[in-house]
Protein backbone atom coordinates (compact mmCIF):
# COMPACT_ATOMS: atom_id res chain seq x y z
CA UNK A 1 0.00 0.00 0.00
CA UNK A 2 1.25 3.46 -0.81
CA UNK A 3 1.94 5.83 2.05
CA UNK A 4 1.20 8.81 -0.13
CA UNK A 5 -0.58 11.42 1.94
CA UNK A 6 -3.53 13.14 0.27
CA UNK A 7 -3.12 16.90 0.00
CA UNK A 8 -6.17 18.19 1.85
CA UNK A 9 -6.47 21.71 3.21
CA UNK A 10 -8.60 22.20 6.29
CA UNK A 11 -10.91 25.17 6.67
CA UNK A 12 -13.05 25.14 9.80
CA UNK A 13 -14.81 28.15 11.23
CA UNK A 14 -15.43 27.26 14.90
CA UNK A 15 -18.16 29.89 15.13
CA UNK A 16 -20.16 28.19 12.39
CA UNK A 17 -20.00 24.47 13.18
CA UNK A 18 -22.93 22.40 12.06
CA UNK A 19 -23.26 18.78 13.06
CA UNK A 20 -24.29 17.01 9.91
CA UNK A 21 -23.47 13.39 10.63
CA UNK A 22 -25.37 11.03 12.85
CA UNK A 23 -22.14 9.62 14.35
CA UNK A 24 -20.83 13.00 15.49
CA UNK A 25 -24.26 13.92 16.82
CA UNK A 26 -24.46 10.68 18.83
CA UNK A 27 -20.92 11.12 20.21
CA UNK A 28 -21.69 14.66 21.34
CA UNK A 29 -25.13 13.92 22.79
CA UNK A 30 -24.02 12.79 26.30
CA UNK A 31 -21.63 15.71 26.64
CA UNK A 32 -24.26 18.20 25.46
CA UNK A 33 -26.85 16.80 27.89
CA UNK A 34 -24.41 16.97 30.82
CA UNK A 35 -23.23 20.48 30.02
CA UNK A 36 -26.70 21.89 29.39
CA UNK A 37 -27.97 20.28 32.61
CA UNK A 38 -25.03 21.82 34.45
CA UNK A 39 -25.65 25.34 33.19
CA UNK A 40 -29.45 25.42 32.91
CA UNK A 41 -30.94 27.53 35.60
CA UNK A 42 -34.02 29.59 36.39
CA UNK A 43 -33.75 33.33 35.77
CA UNK A 44 -34.20 34.12 39.46
CA UNK A 45 -32.54 31.45 41.56
CA UNK A 46 -33.38 31.25 45.22
CA UNK A 47 -31.59 33.81 47.37
CA UNK A 48 -31.47 31.34 50.25
CA UNK A 49 -28.15 29.56 50.51
CA UNK A 50 -29.06 25.97 51.26
CA UNK A 51 -25.56 24.55 51.04
CA UNK A 52 -23.31 23.45 48.28
CA UNK A 53 -24.82 21.84 45.23
CA UNK A 54 -23.96 18.16 45.01
CA UNK A 55 -25.78 17.68 41.72
CA UNK A 56 -23.61 20.25 39.92
CA UNK A 57 -20.46 18.58 41.26
CA UNK A 58 -21.64 15.20 39.98
CA UNK A 59 -22.43 16.70 36.58
CA UNK A 60 -19.06 18.43 36.47
CA UNK A 61 -17.34 15.13 37.23
CA UNK A 62 -19.33 13.50 34.40
CA UNK A 63 -18.29 16.22 31.95
CA UNK A 64 -14.65 15.87 33.01
CA UNK A 65 -14.77 12.09 32.62
CA UNK A 66 -16.40 12.33 29.18
CA UNK A 67 -13.79 14.87 28.12
CA UNK A 68 -10.94 12.67 29.43
CA UNK A 69 -12.28 9.69 27.48
CA UNK A 70 -12.58 11.80 24.35
CA UNK A 71 -9.03 13.11 24.79
CA UNK A 72 -7.69 9.56 25.21
CA UNK A 73 -9.34 8.46 21.97
CA UNK A 74 -8.23 11.64 20.22
CA UNK A 75 -4.62 11.07 21.28
CA UNK A 76 -4.71 7.53 19.89
CA UNK A 77 -6.08 8.84 16.59
CA UNK A 78 -3.43 11.59 16.49
CA UNK A 79 -0.63 9.04 17.01
CA UNK A 80 -1.83 6.88 14.12
CA UNK A 81 -2.83 9.70 11.76
CA UNK A 82 -0.78 10.52 8.70
CA UNK A 83 -2.99 13.46 7.71
CA UNK A 84 -4.08 16.43 9.81
CA UNK A 85 -1.50 15.66 12.52
CA UNK A 86 -0.91 19.30 13.39
CA UNK A 87 -4.61 20.10 13.32
CA UNK A 88 -5.41 17.12 15.55
CA UNK A 89 -2.80 18.11 18.12
CA UNK A 90 -4.05 21.70 18.04
CA UNK A 91 -7.65 20.48 18.51
CA UNK A 92 -6.59 18.25 21.42
CA UNK A 93 -4.80 21.19 23.06
CA UNK A 94 -7.89 23.34 22.51
CA UNK A 95 -10.15 20.71 24.13
CA UNK A 96 -7.78 20.51 27.12
CA UNK A 97 -7.72 24.31 27.46
CA UNK A 98 -11.51 24.67 27.19
CA UNK A 99 -12.05 21.75 29.57
CA UNK A 100 -9.84 23.44 32.14
CA UNK A 101 -11.69 26.75 31.67
CA UNK A 102 -15.04 25.00 32.16
CA UNK A 103 -13.74 23.20 35.24
CA UNK A 104 -12.58 26.48 36.82
CA UNK A 105 -15.83 28.33 36.10
CA UNK A 106 -17.98 25.35 37.09
CA UNK A 107 -16.12 24.92 40.39
CA UNK A 108 -16.74 28.59 41.16
CA UNK A 109 -20.40 28.03 40.32
CA UNK A 110 -20.71 24.90 42.47
CA UNK A 111 -19.15 26.70 45.43
CA UNK A 112 -21.95 29.31 45.20
CA UNK A 113 -24.82 27.89 43.11
CA UNK A 114 -27.11 30.78 43.96
CA UNK A 115 -24.84 33.34 42.30
CA UNK A 116 -26.33 34.20 38.92
CA UNK A 117 -23.09 35.77 37.54
CA UNK A 118 -21.14 32.61 38.39
CA UNK A 119 -23.83 30.49 36.82
CA UNK A 120 -23.82 32.65 33.69
CA UNK A 121 -20.01 32.44 33.46
CA UNK A 122 -20.29 28.69 32.96
CA UNK A 123 -22.34 29.05 29.75
CA UNK A 124 -19.62 30.51 27.49
CA UNK A 125 -17.07 28.05 28.88
CA UNK A 126 -19.42 25.15 28.15
CA UNK A 127 -20.11 26.41 24.63
CA UNK A 128 -16.38 26.78 23.97
CA UNK A 129 -15.76 23.23 25.17
CA UNK A 130 -18.52 21.89 22.92
CA UNK A 131 -17.10 23.78 19.93
CA UNK A 132 -13.61 22.40 20.65
CA UNK A 133 -14.95 18.85 21.03
CA UNK A 134 -16.92 19.19 17.79
CA UNK A 135 -13.82 20.36 15.96
CA UNK A 136 -11.87 17.37 17.29
CA UNK A 137 -14.59 14.94 16.23
CA UNK A 138 -14.82 16.48 12.77
CA UNK A 139 -11.05 16.18 12.37
CA UNK A 140 -11.09 12.56 13.52
CA UNK A 141 -13.84 11.87 11.01
CA UNK A 142 -11.81 13.53 8.26
CA UNK A 143 -8.79 11.37 9.15
CA UNK A 144 -11.00 8.30 8.87
CA UNK A 145 -12.30 9.42 5.47
CA UNK A 146 -8.76 10.14 4.22
CA UNK A 147 -7.67 6.65 5.32
CA UNK A 148 -10.64 5.11 3.52
CA UNK A 149 -9.89 7.12 0.37
CA UNK A 150 -6.28 5.96 0.50
CA UNK A 151 -7.44 2.32 0.50
CA UNK A 152 -9.90 3.08 -2.29
CA UNK A 153 -7.03 4.41 -4.41
CA UNK A 154 -5.04 1.21 -3.82
CA UNK A 155 -8.09 -0.84 -4.82
CA UNK A 156 -8.57 1.20 -7.98
CA UNK A 157 -4.92 0.69 -8.97
CA UNK A 158 -5.24 -3.05 -8.48
CA UNK A 159 -8.42 -3.06 -10.55
CA UNK A 160 -6.64 -1.20 -13.35
CA UNK A 161 -3.75 -3.65 -13.27
CA UNK A 162 -6.28 -6.51 -13.47
CA UNK A 163 -7.51 -5.14 -16.76
CA UNK A 164 -4.00 -5.00 -18.18
CA UNK A 165 -2.62 -8.47 -17.34
CA UNK A 166 -1.00 -10.43 -20.13
CA UNK A 167 -0.60 -13.96 -18.77
CA UNK A 168 -2.66 -16.43 -16.79
CA UNK A 169 -0.22 -16.49 -13.84
CA UNK A 170 -0.26 -12.68 -13.67
CA UNK A 171 -4.05 -12.80 -13.80
CA UNK A 172 -4.18 -15.18 -10.82
CA UNK A 173 -1.74 -13.11 -8.74
CA UNK A 174 -3.47 -9.85 -9.56
CA UNK A 175 -6.90 -11.33 -8.93
CA UNK A 176 -5.79 -12.57 -5.48
CA UNK A 177 -4.48 -9.09 -4.66
CA UNK A 178 -7.74 -7.64 -6.01
CA UNK A 179 -9.73 -9.91 -3.66
CA UNK A 180 -7.60 -8.92 -0.66
CA UNK A 181 -7.93 -5.23 -1.47
CA UNK A 182 -11.68 -5.60 -1.94
CA UNK A 183 -12.06 -7.44 1.38
CA UNK A 184 -9.96 -4.80 3.12
CA UNK A 185 -12.01 -1.97 1.61
CA UNK A 186 -15.25 -3.78 2.50
CA UNK A 187 -14.05 -4.22 6.10
CA UNK A 188 -13.05 -0.55 6.39
CA UNK A 189 -16.41 0.57 4.98
CA UNK A 190 -18.21 -1.75 7.43
CA UNK A 191 -16.12 -0.41 10.32
CA UNK A 192 -16.94 3.17 9.33
CA UNK A 193 -20.67 2.41 9.24
CA UNK A 194 -20.46 0.98 12.75
CA distance 91 to 39: 24
Which parts of 57-189 are beta strand (E)?
Answer: none
Q: For the segment 96-117, what is each residue's pLDDT rounded down to a tens digit?
A: 999 899 888 888 887 877 778 8
Q: pLDDT for 116-153, tens place per residue?
A: 888 788 878 888 888 888 888 888 888 888 888 888 88
pLDDT of residue 3: 47
User: What span, in angstroms and rounded, lies between the C-alpha atoms of 77 and 88?
Assistant: 8
**Can you tell me the distance from the alpha carbon of 70 to that of 58, in angstroms, rounded to the nearest whole number?**
18
Q: With respect to CATH, is domain 22-40+55-193 assigned 1.20.120.230?
A: yes
Model pLDDT, residue 138: 83
Q: How many CB atoms lie within 10 A of CB 53?
A: 17
Domain edges within the chain: 22-40+55-193
Dist. CA 38–CA 56, nearest whole Å:
6
- Residues 56/106, Cβ–Cβ less than 8 Å: yes
Closest by CA position to 118, among listed 55, 30, 32, 56: 56
Sign of CA dihedral 72, 191, 129, 32: negative
Amino acid sequence: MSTKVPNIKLKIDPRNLQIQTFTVEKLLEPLIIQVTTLVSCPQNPSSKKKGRSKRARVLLASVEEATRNLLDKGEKIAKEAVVFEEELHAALADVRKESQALRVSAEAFTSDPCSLPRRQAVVPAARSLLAAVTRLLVLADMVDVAYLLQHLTVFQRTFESLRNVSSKSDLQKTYQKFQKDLENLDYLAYKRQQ
